[in-house]
């Protein structure tokens, strides 16, 4: 049965320096609050995994938490580049960042094979792709039945997966509604799984075909209302498009970025205090 803990305690107990950590969520339910807590606790040397690194990984990379990034696309959705990611790759600030870039299809298959406890994923793809020239983790094998040439990539099996969801019940079962990315597969592939939720309820009242992650697949559940902001949580709040736009000038310079995280993340006790500070200034 999953433990119901504060996010601070869950990160302190279950995320260790040097871990491989996947923070997943597609379009909505992005675990922003968890990324803040990793920075507050100064977690180091993390291998970060995510299909679409956006602001959460710009934050973690710029804060010096990451040594490697395994990904399939990186950017500020609808705005442009991730400046902290680019600075780390191009100029090694705050230190050098190793990258392993894949296609979306390869990353999705790598999570599925990880959840299946297999060593690698097989897919049709990468034929003629330049990624093969820069990523030694992309190999080709011959199908033993047809002789077809197929691509193979290592499974993604994180030490810790962190996701955000709408709600959990008191036993630790978690309900995810709306657009699904690879949250289910990422949770099942991981040794430990932390889920932040908008609320805890007595009954999930899960509709037909909803995604329910069982308590046995989860290590800790943490109540963090608004924990996906500035992304959205289907049925709870909308995407904060202005925040994504405002992030570009903040992250563009090292000094402005550092000042921002010192004030709003390192300078706050938790995500609730961060929200109060941001919302107070917005008014």
Q: What is the pLDDT of residues 15-47, one digit of tens each?
A: 999 999 999 999 999 999 999 999 999 999 999
Domain that holds residue 67: 3-102+157-282
Nearest in space to 57 (alpha carbons), one of 37, 32, 80, 27: 32
* CA distance readout (Å), 96 to 70, 80, 86, 92, 269: 14, 22, 11, 4, 29
Spatial distance between the Cα atoms of 249 and 202, rounded to a whole number of angstroms: 43
Nearest in space to 94 (alpha carbons), one of 216, 263, 261, 245: 261
Task: Please state the φ and ψ torsions of residue 177, each to the nearest 5 degrees.
Answer: -125, 155
| Three-state SS at 146 | coil
Domain assignment of residue 239, yes or no: yes
What is the count of structural domains for the chain?
1
Domain assignment of residue 152, yes or no: no
Domain assignment of residue 226, yes or no: yes
Pair of tokens at residue 66: 């990451």
Residue 110 gets which letter from DSSP? H
pTM for the predicted model, two decimal places: 0.96
Domain assignment of residue 114, yes or no: no
CATH number at residue 213: 3.40.1080.10
Domain assignment of residue 118, yes or no: no
pLDDT digits 0-9 by tens, 88-128: 999 999 999 999 999 999 999 999 999 999 999 999 999 89
Domain assignment of residue 277, yes or no: yes
Domain assignment of residue 149, yes or no: no
Domain assignment of residue 52, yes or no: yes
């Amino acid at each position: 049965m999953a433990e119901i803990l504060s996010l601070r305690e869950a990160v302190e107990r279950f995320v260790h320096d040097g871990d491989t950590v996947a923070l997943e969520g597609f379009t909505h339910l992005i675990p922003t609050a968890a990324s803040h807590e990793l920075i507050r606790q100064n977690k180091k040397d993390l291998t970060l995994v995510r299909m679409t690194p956006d602001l959460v990984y710009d934050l973690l990379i710029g804060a010096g938490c990451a040594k490697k990034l395994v990904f399939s696309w990186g950017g500020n959705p609808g705005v442009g580049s991730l400046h902290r990611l680019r600075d780390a790759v191009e100029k090694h600030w705050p230190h050098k960042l190793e990258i392993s870039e894949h296609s979306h299809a390869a990353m999705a298959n790598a999570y599925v094979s990880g959840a299946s406890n297999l060593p690698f994923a097989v897919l049709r793809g990468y034929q003629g792709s330049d990624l093969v020239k820069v990523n030694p983790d992309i190999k080709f094998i011959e199908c033993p039945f047809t002789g077809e040439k197929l691509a193979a990539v290592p499974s993604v099996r994180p030490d810790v997966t962190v996701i955000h969801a709408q709600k959990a019940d008191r036993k630790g079962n978690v309900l995810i509604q709306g657009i699904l990315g690879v949250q289910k597969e990422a949770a099942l592939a991981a040794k430990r799984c932390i889920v932040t939720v908008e609320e805890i309820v007595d009954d999930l009242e899960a509709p037909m075909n909803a995604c329910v992650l069982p308590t046995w697949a989860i290590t800790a559940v943490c109540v963090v209302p608004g924990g996906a902001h500035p992304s959205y949580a289907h049925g709870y709040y909308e995407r904060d498009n202005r925040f994504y736009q405002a992030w570009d000038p903040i992250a563009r310079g090292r000094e402005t970025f550092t000042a921002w995280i010192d004030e709003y993340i390192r300078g706050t006790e938790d995500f609730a205090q961060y929200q109060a500070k941001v919302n107070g200034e917005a008014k």
